Amino acid sequence: MNLARIALTALLPLVCALAACQGAPPLFTPERPLPMDEHSHAQPNRVRVRHVSLNLALDFEARRAEGAVRLELVRKDPSAPLALDARGLEILSITGSSGGVRNYNLGAEDAVKGSALLVELAPQDTAVTIRYRTSPGAEAMQWLEPAQTAGGGKPFLFTQGQSILTRSWIPLQDSPGVRITYDAAIRAPAGLTAVMSAEQLGRDADGAWRFRMEQPIPPYLIALACGELAFREISNRSGVWAEPSVVQAARDELVDTEMMIQCAEALFGPYRWGRYDLIILPPSFPFGGMENPRLTFATPTILAGDKSLVGLVAHELAHSWSGNLVTNATWRDFWLNEGFTVYFEQRIMEEVYGAARSDMEKQLGRADLEHELAALEPWQQVLHVELGARHPDEAFSQVPYEKGALLLRRIEQLVGRKDFDRFLRGWFDGHAFESVTTADFLEHLERELLADRPEAAQKLDLARWLREPGLPDDAPRASSALLAAVDAQIERWKAGAAPQELDTQGWVTQQWLRLLDALPEQLTAEQMGALDRAFNFTSSGNSEIVCAWLVRAVRADYRPADAKLHAFLMNVGRRKFLKPIYTELAKTPEGLRRAQELYAKARPRYHSVSTGTLDKLLAWRG
Ligand code: BES
Ligand code: ZN
């Protein structure tokens, strides 16, 4: 520990007493040198951005945001220019805080990283103000037509920053090691409400929506949504935003959120962000959920009507510790965000809904991982992944999620839950508001857990877990009695029982998902029809079940599902669903033609995150 950190630690009680904010104070450790981030042009060890003030007007017709950003700087190397990330931005002017315009150079655009924006600083500059506008194709922003919303009457905008997209709507140091605080003023057309991943301060005199985030966060967590929105309270610190026609159903589905927060706090320490709200976005949102601080962004496809898919809320909430409080310093360390979060999610689910539910989810998660491993290249199967110049998205798979969580469960198994919980709590407290690497994890693990447990240490082959492909033999297996009951019914079906003769009474979503996963790969259209008549899969309102069923429908050429397939692909933009369905279609020449035809119609409705994946899959050539 260096002197600066010792000094900070000694001062901490005083700082805490002085800071009249919720949770821990904004804790800056700008002294800590940051590791090299291959995915950013910034040189934060020379000049570092520490606060971002946004002032933007939203133009839905032109699909642009225009205005200014003021960046406050910490200058370690007084002779160094300010190096920023930008992508597709039109820079209008740059001024320095000590007065006057500044010279800058916007470099050529790298396909992965975008452009470097180098700004010459005057000796006394402690901030710069950049006037700019975004391009209509900004990767982070999705501008929706009214027809893509539930209400149909107003347009909608949302942003998605993770992993390296924030630079397409704000010029800044877009590296997860560079924590910043921010404030924002957003001007939007009348009748629309703007919300951000920050404290909401209401509207100012000239009608701009004001926000403030006082805790230092990585830039990928700056997020904005704007549309016709209503709010329903869940508890005094939690609630849900959604379009008016969706908000009541959303509130009913998510009513257990406060219970989840309390469980999470009991496990791993106080929730340090004040409020925890969610926003249910229109269905083109490319992810299930995104852990934007104070305001999780979520897909409406989790609204199943029976809380069966709220594991996603546990997951995004868990990121308030793993990811938002303690953040991967580079995208090579992404497993620290997602592996910890899946582990934590499973613990919350066990606490709130019981072990029977979380055991099912663990078993299904491992099965998903095993299926996916078979299709991944060796480098993609590694936890501490070697990205080099590749886009972080190329390593996106179940590996950082499920293999990461399995490693943590393996350690828990070796040392016992009590000690492991103490270890995790120490990890979150000890690194709160810091960005961390896999090396930091190893150091903490060694010091806090393995040093006095030579037997456990000896059984744990960390190099195998972190640096090699595949799943180590000691990866824990969850076994769920409820899923075993499904397997027993599948055996009866294989032995000749008709679908309606199977004992499916009281089955929950996870059991149906097991059925759809464990039935023989190849079914005939007749078998599909019999299953559909017995269990109504095509008309299911559960998006996970529908997705698994549509993959099978395509494989079996089961045409009665065509209308549903078409509607689903036109309406839903969640990549996790689109990818397997289009992949299945693309397996035959006829299917590929169909996929390309559907895709041509649906593509304008998808976010860049989804089209980025699907363009490759379907050999899209505009
Ligand atoms: N942070 C991720 C989403 C993400 C990852 C966006 C990488 C961009 C790059 C989020 O927490 C997540 O994992 N969402 C999952 C949900 C989940 C329950 C595993 C999703 O969207 O499906
Ligand atoms: Zn996640």
Residues 67 and 128 in one domain: yes
- Decide: 155 and 227 in contact? Cβ < 8 Å: yes
- What's the CA-to-centroid distance between 288 and ligand 1, angstroms? 6
Q: What is the CATH number of the domain that holds 561?
A: 1.25.40.320
- Work out the average pLDDT over 251-278: 98
Query: What is the number of structural domains in the chain?
Result: 4
Residues 157 and 255 in one domain: no
Ligand 1 atom nearest 609 alpha carbon: 8
251 part of a folded domain: yes
Structure confidence at residue 32 (pLDDT): 77
In total, the chain counts a number of residues equal to 622
Is 312's C-beta closer than 6 angstroms to any atom of ligand 1?
yes
The region that residue 184 occupies, defined by phi over 0 for left and psi between -120 and 50 for alpha, beta otherwise, is beta
Strand order in the sheet with 156-159: 141-144, 156-159, 224-227, 193-196
594 part of a folded domain: yes
DSSP code string of 482-522? HHHHHHHHHHHHHTT--GGGS--TT--HHHHHHHHHHS-S-
Q: What is the CATH number of the domain that holds 107?
A: 2.60.40.1730
Residues 423 and 297 in one domain: no
Is 220's C-beta closer than 6 angstroms to any atom of ligand 1?
no
Residues 193 and 246 in one domain: no
Residues 85 and 207 in one domain: yes
Cα distance from N-terminal residue to C-terminal residue, the chain: 54
Structure confidence at residue 31 (pLDDT): 61
34 part of a folded domain: no
What pLDDT digit, counting tens, does each position of 190-226 carry? Answer: 999 999 999 999 999 999 999 999 999 999 999 999 9
Q: Where are the alpha helices (DSSP H) in 19-138?
A: none
Is 200's C-beta closer than 6 angstroms to any atom of ligand 1?
no
Is 361's C-beta closer than 6 angstroms to any atom of ligand 1?
no
599 part of a folded domain: yes
Residues 543 and 604 in one domain: yes
Q: What is the CATH number of the domain that holds 271?
A: 3.30.2010.30
Residues 177 and 312 in one domain: no
475 part of a folded domain: no
Mean model confidence pLDDT for the chain: 95
Residue 403 CA to residue 366 CA, distance in Å, equals 8
User: Is the model's pLDDT at 258 over the cut of 50?
Assistant: yes
Residues 96 and 136 in one domain: yes
Residues 65 and 201 in one domain: yes
**Token pair recorded at residue 505:** 């009474």
476 part of a folded domain: no
**Token pair recorded at residue 371:** 């299926």
**Which of 163, 192, 225 is the C-terminal boundary of a domain?**
225
Residue 614 CA to residue 622 CA, distance in Å, equals 12
Residue 68 CA to residue 422 CA, distance in Å, equals 45
What pLDDT digit, counting tens, does each position of 398-453 carry? Answer: 999 999 999 999 999 999 999 999 999 999 999 999 999 999 999 999 999 999 99
**Token pair recorded at residue 366:** 């491992």
- What's the CA-to-centroid distance between 572 and ligand 2, angstroms? 20
pLDDT band of residue 522 (cuts 50, 70, 90) is: very high
CA-proximal residue: ligand 1, atom 18 (nearest): 312
Ligand 1 atom nearest 316 alpha carbon: 11
Q: Which of 60, 68, 69 is nearest to 226 (CA)?
A: 60
Residue 344 CA to residue 437 CA, distance in Å, equals 19
> Crossing angle, helix 509-518 and helix 481-494, to 10 degrees?
40
- Decide: 510 and 517 in contact? Cβ < 8 Å: no
Which residues are annotated as catalytic?
316, 401
Q: What is the CATH number of the domain that holds 385?
A: 1.10.390.10
Residues 86 and 192 in one domain: yes
Residues 462 and 524 in one domain: no
Residues 594 and 454 in one domain: no
473 part of a folded domain: no
- Domain extent, residue 97, equals 40-142+153-225
- Decide: 217 and 337 in contact? Cβ < 8 Å: no
> Crossing angle, helix 575-585 and helix 543-555, to 10 degrees?
10
- Decide: 46 and 80 in contact? Cβ < 8 Å: yes
- Work out the average pLDDT over 102-116: 98
- What's the CA-to-centroid distance between 179 and ligand 1, angstroms? 20
313 part of a folded domain: yes
**Which of 411, 444, 467 is the C-terminal boundary of a domain?**
467
Q: Which of 613, 611, 605 is nearest to 284 (CA)?
A: 605
